[in-house]
Chain A
């Protein structure tokens, strides 16, 4: 119910933006720009470029508000625009590079898993483990856990079938567990 009310409010903002309402644009910006920035950063990894892209997405929302039919959620619409812009930026500038951390860190350091656990926080390990995922797998993880989107919304944003989203998540999780295991974190995470 809360999600529905939120979604209705956001759709109203888009209608207000279509009528030239700057306050509604500011509300939308406040609600979405940080999330879009974070999503773009997970795909591109360059804060300056991502800030420009975030504003490009918001400007596209301003320009396209009149054409928003409300057939999808505002979040799906905005993340879809962001994804399109990110992929274009990546194609134009350089291939997406994935920084692969030293896989043999645990063995090379001579520390046991317990010490590694102490040295690295779980968050830090997760952050570096995420970098080992393919861009598609990382994107599904990002949209699910950080952005809190449903599998249907993710399928709409990524323009792929729902089953593809579920399969990607299944393998992303597996890969993430393996990456965490290499960092001395295995089994029960909780």
Chain B
């Protein structure tokens, strides 16, 4: 390899991805060429600076992995034979209104949900108004579901750790949000009797001072 060919390989010598033969050829050349040896030093410095400048940039939000998993679950649900043959009866209130819609539409729906909450037409709970508790109607197709969804709004003072602790406390996972209005949609698995599990989870949320309000899907 000539000098020019070696120079072209130096960035990948610096990032250590050359194959064995190329690496040996570069190292032999470096022992004889001060210009290329200096270039390698500069490239290493540049590489370090680029990595460090990248590390100072924005990062994925801590909720991104849960959202990705929720997208996978939505995709799997949508392609399952049951969903294909009878999509409407199989879908819950929230998945019908929430999952398949684009993010901006979801934000609008979140606003509608808040309005509905205000009107008391949904299953709901508010800390500031203990009398307004959730209602559910038992029975129906929902009995066989293995999870249910809750829309939750946290207080402004709740930090990321509070939110995480709350979600873990009910063994839930965030499948959407926060919406423009700060609503999170949380999916909670059901391992035992549906009504009892929901009661337990909703009671846990009711006791949580970081939650302003929440709405559970109707059964």
- Chain A interface (Cβ < 8 Å from any Cβ of B): 20, 22, 25-26, 29-30, 33-34, 37-38, 41-42, 47, 50-52, 54-55, 58-59, 62-63, 122-127, 130, 141-142, 144-146, 148-151, 153, 166, 169-170, 173, 176, 188-190
Is the pair B46, A145 in contact by a Cβ cutoff of 8 Å? yes
Known: A22-B72, A26-B69, A37-B60. A145 touches B42 (CB 8 A): no
CA distance A150 to B41 in the complex (A): 19
| B45/A127 in contact, CB under 8 A | no
Which chain B residues lie closer than 8 Å to A127 at the CB level? Answer: 53, 56-57
Q: Which residues of A contact B11 (CB under 8 A)?
A: 144-145, 169, 173
How far, in whole Å, are A87 and B14 apart by their CA atoms in the complex? 28
Q: A25–B68 Cα gap in the complex (Å)? A: 10
Known contacts A144-B15, A145-B11, A145-B50; A190/B60 CB under 8 A? no
Tell me which of B15, B58, B69 contacts A22 (CB under 8 A): B69
> Which residues B43-102 have CB closer than 8 A to chain A?
43-47, 49-54, 56-61, 64-65, 67-69, 71-72, 75-76
Q: Which chain B residues numbered 105 to 163 have a C-beta less than 8 Å away from chain A?
A: none
Write the nearest CB–CB distance from B84 to chain A, whole angstroms: 16
B103 within 8 A of A: yes
* With contact pairs A59-B68, A188-B41 given, residues A150 and B17 touching in the complex (Cβ less than 8 Å): yes
Which listed residue, B50, B57, B60, B103, touches A33 by the CB 8 Å rule? B60
**Taking A34-B59, A62-B75 as contacts, is the C-beta distance between A146 and B54 under 8 angstroms?**
yes
Q: Are B75 and A63 in contact (CB under 8 A)?
A: yes
CB < 8 Å: which of B46, B54, B68, B103 contacts A38? B54
- Could you say which of A37, A166, A189 has the most chain B C-beta atoms within 10 Å of its C-beta? A189
| Chain B residues engaging chain A, CB cutoff 8 angstroms | 7-9, 11-12, 14-18, 38, 41-47, 49-54, 56-61, 64-65, 67-69, 71-72, 75-76, 103
Q: Could you say which residues of chain A place their CB within 8 Å of the CB of B47? A: 145
Residues in chain A near residue B12, CB distance under 8 A? 144, 150-151
A176 & B46 in contact (Cβ 8 Å cutoff): yes
Residue pair B69, A51 in contact (C-beta under 8 Å): no
**How far apart sit A38 and B55, CA to CA, in the bound complex (Å)?**
9
B50 surroundings in chain A (CB, below 8 A): 126, 130, 141-142, 145-146
Taking CB atoms, residues of chain A closer than 8 Å to B49 are 122-123, 125-126, 189
On chain B, the residues within 8 Å of A38 by CB distance are 54, 57
How far is it, in angstroms, between the C-alpha of A166 and the C-alpha of B75 when the chains are bound? Answer: 40
Shortest Cβ distance from residue B61 to the other chain A in the assembled complex, whole angstroms:
6
Which 4 residue pairs are nearest across A and B when measured between Cβ atoms? A150-B17, A127-B53, A47-B58, A189-B45
Asked if B53 contacts A124 (CB within 8 A), the reply is yes
User: In the complex, A123 Cα to B49 Cα: how many Å?
Assistant: 5
Q: Given A145-B47, A166-B8, A189-B42, check contact A41 B57 (CB 8 Å).
A: yes
Query: A41-B58, A62-B72, A190-B45 are known contacts. Are A55 and B64 too (CB-CB below 8 A)?
Result: yes
With CB as the reference atom, state the residue of chain B lying closest to A143: B15
Bound-state Cα–Cα, A190 to B65, Å:
38
A58 engages B54 (CB within 8 Å): no
24 pairs, CB–CB < 8 Å, chain A vs chain B: A25-B72, A41-B58, A51-B64, A59-B68, A59-B71, A62-B72, A62-B75, A123-B52, A126-B49, A126-B50, A126-B53, A127-B56, A130-B53, A144-B11, A145-B11, A145-B15, A145-B47, A146-B50, A146-B54, A148-B17, A149-B15, A150-B17, A153-B17, A190-B44
